[in-house]
């Protein structure tokens, strides 16, 4: 039996390993959201969050480009109103709105024969058009991580692009090593999904994360 952790819980587990996330607040009311908005600054994004909510976009549970307090208050109330009894306990994640012309995907998958693997690939709208993925068995070294990046066929995707700087490959190496370390210390792990990994001013930033664990393990990542 597997369990997909909420986005907030997933990020809380991954953050200590060095995965770069945006500052955000996990709120349960529009009042809390307004306080968070003052600290985070606008524009913002709001997402309904819960252990039983994995595919937020498909259910219309994401609000983008929230420009001020009244819009944030309305968005949070609306999202909380869309929660169902099957969703269980829910909250709303509020974070700065960022946009990027380039996205990557990274994560951990379990090979049935060899065990956990680190995965890196081209993401965003190019994911299905350009199937470009590099995979290595856990644990990986810094050299392995650098080779994964170099192995991507679409290297021009990582270079300076339309006035934007090239992708910070050193930061990308650190993310891959962090995923490997996380997998090595969580034997109950089923998968990790950092999608998208946005490239913002050259720096990779994970704006979403989902961790799936095996509930049967007594050493669960909870």
Residue 180 predicted with pLDDT over 50: yes
Q: Hey, what are 183's tokens?
A: 């997998």
Contact 205, 96 (CB under 8 A): no
**Interatomic CA distance for residues 84 and 89, integer angstroms:** 10
Quick: pLDDT tens for 44-102. Answer: 999 999 887 766 766 789 999 999 999 999 999 999 999 888 888 999 999 999 989 89
pLDDT score, position 129? 60
- Cα–Cα distance measured from residue 89 to residue 71, given in angstroms and rounded to the nearest whole number: 24
In the chain, CATH 3.30.470.20 sits at: 103-214
| CATH 3.30.1490.20 domain locations along the chain | 23-96
Percent of the chain surpassing pLDDT 90: 77
CATH number of 103-214, picked from 3.30.470.20, 2.60.130.10, 3.10.20.30, 3.40.50.2300: 3.30.470.20
Tokens of 171: 């930061």
* Helix extents (H) in the chain: 7-14, 30-40, 69-81, 142-151, 169-184
Residue 106 is predicted with a pLDDT of: 97
Q: Please give the model's pTM, rounded to 2 decimal places.
A: 0.90
**3-state SS assignment for residue 105:** strand
Q: Among the ranges 83-92, 123-132, 141-150, 209-218, which has the highest mean pLDDT value?
A: 141-150
Contact call for residues 211 and 14 (beta carbons, < 8 A): yes
Domain 23-96 is found in CATH 3.10.20.600: no
DSSP annotation of 181 reads H
Helices 142-151 & 169-184 angle (0-180, nearest 10): 120
Residue 211 sits at the vertex; the CA angle it makes with 24 and 35, to the nearest 5 degrees, is 15
What is the reported pLDDT for 88?
85
Asked if 52 and 86 touch (Cβ cutoff 8 Å), the reply is yes
Residue 185: how many other CB atoms lie within 10 Å: 11
Q: How do residues 11-50 score in pLDDT, each as one tens digit?
A: 999 999 999 999 999 999 999 999 999 999 999 999 999 8
| Count of C-beta atoms within a 10 Å radius of residue 89 | 11
- For residues 114 and 175, the answer to whether their CB atoms sit within 8 Å is no
CB half-sphere exposure, 127, CA atoms < 13 A: 11
């Amino acid at each position: 039996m597997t369990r997909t952790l909420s986005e907030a819980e997933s990020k809380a587990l991954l953050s200590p390993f060095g995965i770069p996330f945006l500052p955000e607040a996990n709120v349960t009311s529009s009042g809390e959201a307004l306080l968070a908005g003052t600290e985070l600054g606008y524009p913002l994004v709001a997402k309904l969050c819960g252990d039983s909510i994995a595919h937020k976009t498909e259910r219309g549970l994401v609000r983008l480009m929230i420009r001020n307090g009244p819009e944030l208050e309305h968005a949070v109330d609306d999202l909380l109103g869309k929660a169902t009894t099957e969703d269980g306990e829910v909250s709303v994640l509020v974070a700065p709105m960022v946009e990027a012309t380039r996205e990557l995907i990274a994560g951990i998958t379990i090979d049935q024969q060899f065990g956990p693997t680190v995965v890196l690939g081209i993401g965003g709208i190019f994911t299905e058009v350009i199937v470009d993925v590099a995979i290595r068995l856990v644990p990986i070294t810094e050299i392995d991580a650098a080779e994964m990046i170099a192995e991507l066929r679409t290297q021009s995707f990582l270079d300076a692009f339309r006035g934007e700087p090239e992708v910070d490959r050193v930061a990308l190496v650190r993310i891959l090593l962090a995923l490997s370390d996380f997998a090595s210390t969580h034997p109950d792990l089923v998968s990790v999904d950092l999608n998208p990994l946005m490239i913002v001013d050259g720096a990779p930033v994970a704006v979403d994360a989902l961790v799936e664990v095996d509930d049967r393990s007594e050493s669960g990542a909870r």
